[in-house]
A and B are shown apart, each in its own frame.
Chain A
Amino acid sequence: MISIMFSLLLVPLFSAVLIFLIPNSRKEIFRPIGIAFSLITLTQCVYLLFGEFAKTEFTILSTFKWIQSYGINLHFGLSGMSTLLLLLSSLLVFVSLLSIGKDHSESKGFVGSLLILHFAINGVFISGDLISLFIFFEALLIPMYFLMGIWGGENRRYATIKFILYTVFGSVFIFIGTVYTAVLSFGVNGRLAVDFETLSSLSLLESQSKTLFLLFTFGFLIKVPIFPLHTWLPDAHVEAPTAGSIMLAGVLLKVGAYGILRVSIPFFTEGFLAYKNLIAILSVIGIIYGAVVAIAQIDIKKLIAYSSVSHMGFVMLGISAGGFLSIEGAIIQMINHGITAGALFMLVGFIYERRHTRKISDFGGVKISMPRYAAIFLFTSFASIGLPGLNGFVGEFMILMGSFNSYKILTSFAAFGVVLAAIYMLWAYQRMFTGPIKYEENESLSDLNSRETASIVPLVLLMLFIGIYPNYIESFVIQEASFLSDTIAMFKDLK
């Protein structure tokens, strides 16, 4: 199991190096190599799903001595939530490699950056201590900087710098939090031990716990992003290339929520109890605000970006409610949103490659020229709205049901987010796909080819599978969710 865990790091890194070494004259093999290696990683993740750590809480499996005179070690481990997110990121890297157009797939830098991004994301999810978590969290920025900077849209410079500065600003707080925790741990253990096992036995004063919770959570919330820290997200999504958007919406946003679930809540629970109401209010504002702003968008990519703000608001509401059901729902919603938002961005990418516009008003009646595309788009929209029987419903329903006990009024407001989602998604669908064809350019659009279909179908199947049989995905997170909710309940009782 340990060797598989490390190969999740080494295989993407190795494949990226391999691609950088291949001369540019053989540019047609960049994509096959990338796909082959991401398939290896995907298979390993599926194998992890059946392994012994797929349903447990976080277990540290391996330790490296890093700086011995300070007693800093690096730890790596696995848990149910990590396994699911690793699987999600591997799947998304695989399908985005399959889906990207020729000008991207034949670029060494693009495929290489995507694989380095994969390496860093995997690193985040197997990190067993604050320092390695921070290292990989920041390392994510390098490939994203190049992906957005080189292959982004027209306004990419502004969007990239904004994205980088927002994230770095957030990670400064995580950094200070890490340092503070390390120094506190030094007082108890005699060394700067910040691995998750040591931290869970570290007893903190209430004021320390509050400060640390604020430091870590602020950094992670920028990444989630929560209202009002979300403004980097629409810019980044609009300017990023398709594969970058898929990874950004699919996995990078989850890194923030993952950090809160992994670090902020279990170790600084008192802080969580003190500030959870604030987070819940902000998330509900985010749900409504994101949805309302999405309705008003004329750019389909920006619409989906704002819908991400709304959907991640559900995740944060579920987390802040802190019950078993709501946290379980939040984890499942993280996976679901990764699948649906990834699929939506991929679909937008397909039509952007054909028409080179993302304006909703430039389309209309596309259903006639691209029937298969329209069907898949509608299906994915339904999943995103949360139609029963599809994956979006499962997570949002669990979150709403789980949060209702703690926040009756807030949850009632949040439920409107589902209705608003139906408005913006279906209205956009109506304007883009139904009715007569308004512009000549849209008549000759070719439907999805077999490569594009192959890249979207796995995601569509997963939407259906999770929607019909949510028990399966739930079984991986039960332990972790119950551990988190128990911790929260215990601290509540202590109060």
Chain B
Amino acid sequence: MTTVSEILGINYIVIAPTLALLLTVIVLLFCTITVSTPMYVKKYVSFVGILLTLFTIFLKFGLFLTDGVSSYFMEKILLDEFALVGNLLVGIVLLFTFNSFWKTSELIDDKTTEALILILMSASGFLLMIDAENFIMLFIGLEIGSISLYALAGLNKGDQLSNEAALKYFLLGSLASCIFIYGIALVYASLSIIGVYETSIAISFIGPDNVPLTTFVGLILIIVGLLFKVAAAPFQAWAPDVYQGSPTGYVGYMATVAKVASFIVLARLVAVSLTFIIDQFDLFFGAVVILSVLAGALFAANQSDLKRLIAYSGVIQSGFILSGISSGVYGISASMFYLITYIIQLIGIFTVFSIISGQLSSDFQISNISGLFKENKFITITLSIFMLGLAGLPLTSGFVSKFILITNLWSYERYVLVTVLMLTTVAGFYFYLRPIWVAAIEKTENVVEKIQVKNSDKLLLGVLATLTIYFGLLPDTLVNITRWMVEGYL
């Protein structure tokens, strides 16, 4: 006899990572209402919460091994390769950025717990978003994640830039959410469906040629909502201001987690929902890719604020990742490889930034790292490795990811995209090498003094730099993982 929970598909392991994070949040909430919880308790609670999340993600792996790709909770939650890898990436991002955001949270008086709660809440939201089968679920996850990020951007109340960042992020983000939900409404209105898999079934049922225009508009609006989150041009305008204004320690988390979740969802959307009509989106994706890399390269060339530079570089990298997502199943796997190597470098860069800035201030000019090498050899070398990785120099993972991606694009005969992307790579060398020049090569009077780097930070940077070089020399494992992600959609 089937139980009610089986009919409804209730299986708490599937949402266990989200639940683990929510549990941590509740414990932290209790910490704030009891009068004097010591700082270290909060630190350990949140750290244990993150470890618990990672552990539950492994439980999900176990479930996947027995169940395979399947949906739960009345087809609201999906368990597939994208969900697993996405969950794992969010967990890893939390773990790797913990040092930076803890340090910054400690500095914000009276708001340490709020900051931690916001971060963990947003992570739980993005986990839900990655797991969502249903568009409404997707929207809820996106909103839980994003709203926490808006607040996080403005947490440094005394700083005008921080306020500006939060307001801009909130207003533009809300607009993007409106567009997103309008897209869902249009798809529902035209096809009466509201799920990722349902869309593809409905389209195959009515035939790819008979898809109504409303559905197309709806799907494009949904994609635009996601593109906003990854800061692809022409939806990139918020990114530099938000990166610049937010407390430096948070930017690493904010930048990576939204990108991971949105790209995973986008990849699944393309692989599943759009699988029959993806050809008709070529022009749209191509335009976004070209706009992103060109706009990113043009604006990045003359930035003196390092966080803005990385924001515009993020626009370029989003263009690269998108170009693969819209180029066949193997293109998606190449994009996933690109995404993983990119977030490793991004976390590394922001870890270095938060170590150097060392305080709450959001200001991080290129002069902040002038002569860094003289007293701080280790962090300069790691920063250089990450920068060279972003530039795509051989022996780093950046080269391998670009190589795989461009090979896929070329075999997909996207010659225009390849040309534009490669020209951007040349331009990239100009602005990715500049921080290295300022930090290590230029002779300057006012060098950065010796910075005390915690052992945990050293370990983290060492691991990230090693991964960057390891995936550049021996990329086989990661390539296999990303190939495994898309094997079901061949």
Chain A residues with CB under 8 Å of chain B are 65-70, 131, 134-136, 138-139, 141-142, 145-146, 149-150, 157, 161, 164-165, 168-169, 172, 175-176, 179-180, 182-183, 186, 192
Q: Determine the chain A residues whose CB is within 8 A of the CB of B411 once the complex forms.
A: 183, 186
B407–A176 CB distance below 8 A: no
Q: Determine the chain A residues whose CB is within 8 A of the CB of B406 once the complex forms.
A: 175-176, 179
Knowing A165-B429, A179-B407 touch, does A67 contact B394 (C-beta < 8 A)?
A: no
B429, B440, B442: which has the most chain A beta carbons within 10 Å? B429
A146–B441 CB distance below 8 A: yes
Taken residue by residue from 386 to 408, chain B's Cβ proximity to chain A (1 for < 8 Å, 0 otherwise) reads as: 00100001110001100110110
Contact of B422 among A68, A176, A182 (CB under 8 A): A176
Q: How far is the CA of A70 from the CA of B426 in the complex (A)?
A: 26
Q: Determine the chain A residues whose CB is within 8 A of the CB of B393 once the complex forms.
A: 138-139, 141-142
Q: Determine the chain B residues whose CB is within 8 A of the CB of A165 once the complex forms.
A: 426, 429-430
B410–A179 CB distance below 8 A: yes
A168–B429 CB distance below 8 A: yes
Chain B residues with CB under 8 Å of chain A are 388, 393-395, 399-400, 403-404, 406-407, 410-411, 418-419, 422-423, 425-426, 429-430, 433, 437, 440-442, 474-476, 479-480, 483
From B337, which residue of chain A is reached at the shortest CB distance?
Answer: A67
Q: Given known contacts A66-B476, A176-B419, what 20 new A-B pairs fall within 8 Å (CB)? A: A66-B474, A66-B475, A67-B404, A67-B479, A69-B480, A70-B404, A141-B393, A142-B393, A145-B433, A146-B441, A165-B429, A172-B422, A172-B425, A175-B422, A176-B406, A176-B422, A179-B403, A179-B407, A183-B411, A186-B411
B418–A176 CB distance below 8 A: yes
Q: How far is the CA of A264 from the CA of B403 in the complex (A)?
A: 20
B394–A161 CB distance below 8 A: no
Q: Determine the chain B residues whose CB is within 8 A of the CB of A135 once the complex forms.
A: 394-395, 399
B403, B404, B411, B476: which has the most chain A beta carbons within 10 Å? B403
From B388, which residue of chain A is reached at the shortest CB distance?
Answer: A142
Q: Determine the chain A residues whose CB is within 8 A of the CB of B422 once the complex forms.
A: 172, 175-176
From A132, which residue of chain B is reached at the shortest CB distance?
Answer: B394
Contact of A69 among B403, B429, B483 (CB under 8 A): B483
* A–B Cβ pairs within 8 angstroms, 27 of them: A66-B476, A67-B475, A67-B476, A68-B480, A69-B476, A69-B483, A70-B404, A70-B479, A135-B394, A138-B393, A139-B393, A145-B433, A161-B430, A164-B433, A165-B429, A165-B430, A168-B425, A168-B429, A172-B425, A175-B403, A175-B406, A176-B422, A179-B403, A179-B406, A180-B410, A182-B407, A186-B411
Q: Determine the chain A residues whose CB is within 8 A of the CB of B442 once the complex forms.
A: 157
Q: How far is the CA of A186 from the CA of B440 in the complex (A)?
A: 42
Q: Determine the chain B residues whose CB is within 8 A of the CB of A192 once the complex forms.
A: 407
Q: How far is the CA of A161 from the CA of B437 in the complex (A)?
A: 10
Q: Determine the chain A residues whose CB is within 8 A of the CB of B394 once the complex forms.
A: 134-136, 138-139
Q: How far is the CA of A88 from the CA of B424 in the complex (A)?
A: 36
Q: Determine the chain B residues whose CB is within 8 A of the CB of A183 once the complex forms.
A: 407, 410-411
Q: How far is the CA of A186 from the CA of B408 in the complex (A)?
A: 11
Q: Determine the chain A residues whose CB is within 8 A of the CB of B483 once the complex forms.
A: 69
Shortest distance from the beta carbon of B75 to any chain A beta carbon, whole Å? 32
Q: Determine the chain A residues whose CB is within 8 A of the CB of B433 once the complex forms.
A: 145, 161, 164
Knowing A69-B483, A175-B406 touch, does A149 contact B475 (C-beta < 8 A)?
A: no
Knowing A145-B433, A165-B430, A168-B425 touch, does A139 contact B404 (C-beta < 8 A)?
A: no
Q: How far is the CA of A192 from the CA of B408 in the complex (A)?
A: 11
From B406, which residue of chain A is reached at the shortest CB distance?
Answer: A179
Q: How far is the CA of A175 from the CA of B430 in the complex (A)?
A: 18
B426–A172 CB distance below 8 A: yes
Contact of B437 among A157, A168, A186 (CB under 8 A): A157
A172–B407 CB distance below 8 A: no
Shortest distance from the beta carbon of B405 to any chain A beta carbon, whole Å? 10
Q: Determine the chain A residues whose CB is within 8 A of the CB of B388 once the complex forms.
A: 142
Q: Determine the chain B residues whose CB is within 8 A of the CB of A69 once the complex forms.
A: 476, 479-480, 483
Q: Determine the chain A residues whose CB is within 8 A of the CB of B475 once the complex forms.
A: 66-67
Shortest distance from the beta carbon of B433 to any chain A beta carbon, whole Å? 7
Q: How far is the CA of A183 from the CA of B413 in the complex (A)?
A: 10
From B333, which residue of chain A is reached at the shortest CB distance?
Answer: A69
Knowing A168-B425, A176-B422, A183-B411 touch, does A139 contact B479 (C-beta < 8 A)?
A: no
From B402, which residue of chain A is reached at the shortest CB distance?
Answer: A175
Q: How far is the CA of A182 from the CA of B426 in the complex (A)?
A: 22
From A140, which residue of chain B is reached at the shortest CB distance?
Answer: B394
Q: How far is the CA of A141 from the CA of B476 in the complex (A)?
A: 25
Q: How far is the CA of A186 from the CA of B412 in the complex (A)?
A: 13
Q: Determine the chain A residues whose CB is within 8 A of the CB of B395 once the complex forms.
A: 135, 139
Q: How far is the CA of A67 from the CA of B399 in the complex (A)?
A: 13
Shortest distance from the beta carbon of B333 to any chain A beta carbon, whole Å? 9
Knowing A135-B394, A180-B410, A183-B411 touch, does A169 contact B479 (C-beta < 8 A)?
A: no
From A157, which residue of chain B is reached at the shortest CB distance?
Answer: B437
Q: How far is the CA of A168 from the CA of B429 in the complex (A)?
A: 8
Q: Determine the chain A residues whose CB is within 8 A of the CB of B399 once the complex forms.
A: 135, 138
Shortest distance from the beta carbon of B65 to any chain A beta carbon, whole Å? 21
B476–A150 CB distance below 8 A: no
Contact of A169 among B407, B426, B480 (CB under 8 A): B426
Shortest distance from the beta carbon of B341 to any chain A beta carbon, whole Å? 13
A69, A138, A146: which has the most chain B beta carbons within 10 Å? A69
A150–B441 CB distance below 8 A: yes
**5 A-B pairs closest in CB distance:** A135-B394, A149-B441, A138-B394, A172-B422, A183-B411
From B424, which residue of chain A is reached at the shortest CB distance?
Answer: A172
B423–A172 CB distance below 8 A: yes
Q: Determine the chain A residues whose CB is within 8 A of the CB of B410 once the complex forms.
A: 176, 179-180, 183
Contact of A168 among B400, B407, B426 (CB under 8 A): B426
Shortest distance from the beta carbon of A126 to any chain B beta carbon, whole Å? 16
